[in-house]
Amino acid sequence: MYSKSLFKENLRIAFSSIRSNLLRTTLTVFIIAFGIMALVGILTAIDSIKGTISNQFRSMGANTFSIVNRDNRVRVGGRVERYRSIEFREAMKFKEEFNFPALVSISTSASDIATVKYKSKKTNPNIPVVGSDENYLITSGYEIKKGRNFTINDIQENAHVVIIGSGLIKDIFEDGEDPLDKVISIGNGKYKVIGVLKEKGSSFGSSGDKICILPITSVRQYFSRPNMNFRISVLPQDSKILKAAINESEGIFRVIRKLRSFENNNFSIETSDSLSNLLIKNIRYVTLAATIIGIITLFGAAIGLMNIMLVSVTERTREIGIRKAIGAKASIIRRQFLYESILIGQLGGFFGIILGILIGNVVSLVTGGTFIIPWFWILSGVFLCFIVGLISGLFPAIKASKLDPIISLRYE
């Protein structure tokens, strides 16, 4: 029976052998560590990026789905199939007829290149302007920091009021100046500031804090253009009825657009989950590349480790002969070399996992994520290093256990 004391003795011998060949052991440990670092580091960063993507889309409106214009597509033969925009009349009719426990908002993009002015200060011509109703802030995940939201009267009376993002304050107002009730210029129109949004942060290269939101009726009047397209957003009262709400809205909007039963939808329904899942799905190629890089590096490390163990068997031939001569069995000799190989693999894995977590979380913090400990990849790294050590040490261990003690004692 394999005793605990024998296990400790084999470990002691393994540590002694590692110390006696410190340089080549260190090089092998760092090769293994590099492979694990690449694997754990990149995959930790990817997990963080996935979480950031999901959070950013969730911040646009949790459990919200939108009815939007369908993109034109090219059919066989080069003919372009064009879909007409969602009209204001259609959007309003949907809002009136959608009798479901949900909040409905209508919005449209007025401009992406507006200039906002106040007194002598003005912004660059890159401010997005959105026309919306009284429900838009809720369905889009915005919150009022100070001031108020639009009222139904503001929408119906085409009021010249605006809600601005907090990112605009430092661009057009003096330090400490209260923006509420100030009149600013957006394009050729003047609007009184009635609300300031809470900070929302950047999303995919654009700042959600530099935005102007106007009543949708005002946008229709002063930013009107041909084929103006409107977006319908729906926020169910309970996330459990999200699918039912989507099915109900699809049926109602088909009737509004007078589609016959055999005709395909000429509009699309988008959910925040579908968009984030599409981006996350595309990240799988990066995950695959990182895995391949890590495995190739570990394969090279396994070859290097096997070479070290074979050299160690050759250098310790006489030692093996002495051990066998005093009664050591082949299984004991085999375990000694396997332990040494596995120990080197675990040392490489330890340093690789530490470096991988640090590098992965640096990327996480840069992308606006939080510090994460990737337990799955840590356990995977430990397992992979165990396999590398076991496979690399198996052949040298078997070779050592089969050495003839008489020939080994004569070896110089």
Encode the chain (412 residues) as per-residue pLDDT tens digits.
Answer: 456 676 777 677 777 777 777 777 788 888 888 878 877 887 777 777 766 666 655 555 557 889 998 765 544 455 555 678 899 999 999 999 999 899 999 999 999 999 999 988 999 998 999 999 999 998 888 889 999 999 999 999 999 999 999 989 988 998 888 999 999 999 889 999 999 999 876 554 445 688 999 999 999 988 988 888 999 999 888 777 888 999 999 999 999 999 988 888 888 888 766 555 656 666 677 777 777 877 787 787 788 778 878 887 777 778 777 777 777 777 777 888 788 888 888 888 888 888 888 888 887 777 666 777 778 878 888 888 888 888 888 888 888 778 776 666 665 5
Pick from 217, 233, 265: which residue ends a domain? 265
**Phi, psi of 313, rounded to the nearest 5 degrees:** -60, -45
CB-based contact 209:165 (threshold 8 Å): yes
Is 302 contained in some domain? yes
C-alpha to C-alpha distance for 67 and 250, rounded to whole angstroms: 8
C-alpha to C-alpha distance for 290 and 308, rounded to whole angstroms: 27
**Amino acid found at 382:** V
Q: Which structural domain, as residue segments, surrounds residue 237?
A: 84-265
Q: Are residues 35 and 151 in the same domain?
A: no
Is 70 contained in some domain? no
CB-based contact 234:241 (threshold 8 Å): no
Q: Are residues 260 and 324 in the same domain?
A: no
Pick from 198, 232, 265: which residue ends a domain? 265
Three-state SS at 36: helix
CB-based contact 43:290 (threshold 8 Å): yes
Taking CA atoms, 315 is separated from 308, 319, 370, 408, in Å, by 10, 9, 50, 11
Determine how many CB atoms are found less than 10 A away from the CB of residue 68. Answer: 17
Q: Are residues 252 and 286 in the same domain?
A: no
Q: Are residues 210 and 105 in the same domain?
A: yes
Is 76 contained in some domain? no
**Taking Cα atoms as reference points, which of 43, 204, 234, 211 lies closest to residue 136?**
234
Is 79 contained in some domain? no
Is 314 contained in some domain? yes
Q: Are residues 50 and 176 in the same domain?
A: no
| Residues 403, 407, 410: CA angle, nearest 5 degrees | 130
Pick from 215, 237, 265: which residue ends a domain? 265
Is 73 contained in some domain? no
Q: Are residues 146 and 232 in the same domain?
A: yes
Is 160 contained in some domain? yes
CB-based contact 66:232 (threshold 8 Å): yes
Q: Are residues 299 and 369 in the same domain?
A: yes
Determine how many CB atoms are found less than 10 A away from the CB of residue 284. Answer: 10
| Residues 74, 270, 114: CA angle, nearest 5 degrees | 85
Q: Domain total for the chain?
A: 2
C-alpha to C-alpha distance for 183 and 165, rounded to whole angstroms: 15
C-alpha to C-alpha distance for 189 and 369, rounded to whole angstroms: 39
